[in-house]
Structure 1
Amino acid sequence: MTYLVTGATGRAGRHVVAHLLRDGHRVRALTRDPARADLPGVEVVRGDLTDPGTLEEAFAGVTGVHLLTVGGDDYATLTTGPEIVALAAASGVRRVSVLWNGVPGPVEEAVEGSGLEWTVLQPTDFMGNTLTWAERIRATGVVDEPFADVRTAVVDEGDVGAVAAAVLTREGHAGRHYPLTGPEALSPREKLALIGTAIGRPLTFQELSRDQARERSRQAGLSAELVELLLSWHGDPPPEAYTVTSAVRDVLGRPARSFASWAAEHAAAFR
């Protein structure tokens, strides 16, 4: 059986690929630029989720699909969910794991209305997103971000990949929504302190205003939709964003990894 991973070169997608390979499954990776994929042992195919006409080859002969809900350079919410799901069904796909982007959208609606065995994965925030701080930490030891003391229950993207692989290849997960978290809720200031502990160096958090954060995100090329979604999610998160769940343990039979453990493993990136 072959499993298709969309977003296979992304922060969580690489872990989905790795766990499927580790369990002995054939993996096909969808990317807009196969030459840059760097995924040994994987069949890499070209395709773009924003253009369903490019996906027929990728879906052919696939048993399960790990599906993103955003696409394009601006990571905008996909509006092509109905076309993608119709193609999956016509191609004989049985199972789909859906990685949400913070709010339900057209992909989730299409999948949940189909006859496929679907599971929606709802991570709050990836621990690996703090890697965007690495250059600043190495250069100055100062991180400037908004919402210094707002906590979210961040999850190791490796755990997300493991859960995605499990729900694609095992029975008992159809029709479920899994809010995926780590074992604790942490603020950006607390995460920075744990990184400092991991690298043996004191670090400083400098808080940005909401307007400063908005302008920086726009200058980075993020869509207005995504900018406002991120500001809302991180500045005034819903209860599910900071509520610790047992979903990782329930699916994998082991505890979710802590941020301290993640920081220790990735310490070299911050030194």
Structure 2
Amino acid sequence: MILVTGVTGAVGREVARLLAAAGPVRALARRPERVPVTERAVDVVQGDYDDRDSLDRALRGVRAAFLVTNSPTEPHDARFATAAREAGVRHLVKLSMAAVAEPDADDLLVRVQRRNEQAIRESGPAWTLLRARTFMSNTLRWAGTIRSEGVVRALYGTSPVACVDPRDIAEVAVRVLTEPGHEGKAYSLSGPEGISAAEQTAQLSEVLGRPLRFEELTREQARAELLRRHPEPVAEAFLRSAERQRAGAKAHVLPTVPALTGRAARPFRAWARDHADAFA
């Protein structure tokens, strides 16, 4: 049995869906009613990283697990890894971030993920790390202003990032979970091109068949917007990450997705076409 966490997110739900095509899979969710995966082979169980009893129940009989965490303060990776080791899980596959491997990256979220990776590596079971660049699905945060105003607003809109389709991350994860030879490895994943927010806006405009306008945010405007959604330390981490993007640190295209899947990574235009309804 394989356990998938993060199934309400863009990557976890796709991992569960792909695994379900080959047989039964278990999905851990704090709120099972919010899980969008409908395949009958997916057994959704209620659980929380802060509830050891629920982790023990979810991990019973599991041989491998896909781990997604997002808390900047709680040691959820360490808690899950301890429970997994004691349950006899043999392989942990962790979704991490590409910046972990980049020496010039040192914001709060990067430091947290470095500690999380260390907890996984030291936990006992075999491990594989998937270090993903920015998700293409992050552009869904523009959907509201696209629908209401025909506008995309972002910071440093001409700086490119080699963003990656969550479906490509999921396909890599499934291969790593089901094929031998990936233990003890860390894979950094990107999309096939560096693309800026302004260029993404233009491509969304073409896909939707309606004019869209890009508006550059000032740093203070971006900070105010982030503070409406995140605590100040997390907002500052995102701003520091944006400065690295402005400097070109996120534009590098990596060959990992084609090497592991045998096909080209999906471009942003393909992701936008397949998710056009979200912006319509």
Task: Report if TM-score (shorter chain) is over 0.5.
Answer: yes
Aligned-pair CA distance for 1:27: 1.3
Aligned-pair CA distance for 1:53: 4.6
SS in 2 for 1:29: strand
Aligned-pair CA distance for 1:114: 3.1
Q: Quote the Cα distance in structure 2 between the aligned partners of 1:4 and 1:56.
A: 12
1:88 aligns to what?
84
1:235 aligns to what?
243
1:7 and 2:15 matched: no
CA contact (8 A) 1:69 1:78 kept: no
SS in 1 for 2:250: helix
Instruction: Give 5+ residue unaligned stretches, structure 1.
Output: none
* TM-score, with structure 1 as normaliser: 0.91
Q: Quote the Cα distance in structure 2 between the aligned partners of 1:79 and 1:230.
A: 20
Instruction: Give 5+ residue unaligned stretches, structure 2.
Output: 100-109
SS in 2 for 1:70: coil
- Per-residue CA deviation, residues 9-64 of structure 1 (Å, 9 max, x unaligned), is 11111111111112x13211111111222432211111222444531111111111
Q: Quote the Cα distance in structure 2 between the aligned partners of 1:230 and 1:183.
A: 23
1:60 aligns to what?
60
1:226 and 2:222 matched: no
SS in 2 for 1:48: coil
Residues paired across the two proteins, number: 264
Q: Quote the Cα distance in structure 2 between the aligned partners of 1:249 and 1:82.
A: 31
- Per-residue CA deviation, residues 83-105 of structure 1 (Å, 9 max, x unaligned), is 32121111111111111145233
Give 1:55's aligned amino acid: L
Give 1:82's aligned amino acid: A
1:32 and 2:30 matched: yes
- Per-residue CA deviation, residues 90-138 of structure 1 (Å, 9 max, x unaligned), is 1111111111145233321111123322111111111111111122112
Give 1:19's aligned amino acid: L
* Aligned with residue 173 of structure 1, among 147, 169, 182: 182
* TM-score, with structure 2 as normaliser: 0.88
CA contact (8 A) 2:159 2:197 kept: yes
CA contact (8 A) 1:144 1:208 kept: yes
Give 2:95's aligned amino acid: L
CA contact (8 A) 2:152 2:215 kept: yes
CA contact (8 A) 2:257 2:265 kept: yes
CA contact (8 A) 1:65 1:95 kept: yes
- Per-residue CA deviation, residues 119-177 of structure 1 (Å, 9 max, x unaligned), is 11111111111111122112211111111112111000011111111101111111111
SS in 1 for 2:201: helix
CA contact (8 A) 1:80 1:106 kept: no
% identity of equivalent residues: 38
Q: Please list every run of at least 4 consecutive aligned residues from structure 1 whose deviation after the TM superposition is greater than 6 angstroms.
A: none
SS in 2 for 1:61: coil
Q: Residues 69 and 169 from structure 1, CA distance in 2 versus in 1: closer, same or farther, beyond 3 angstroms? A: same
Q: Cα RMSD between the aligned structures?
A: 1.8
Q: Quote the Cα distance in structure 1 between the aligned partners of 2:128 and 2:248.
A: 21
1:137 aligns to what?
146
Q: Residues 77 and 242 from structure 1, CA distance in 2 versus in 1: closer, same or farther, beyond 3 angstroms? A: farther
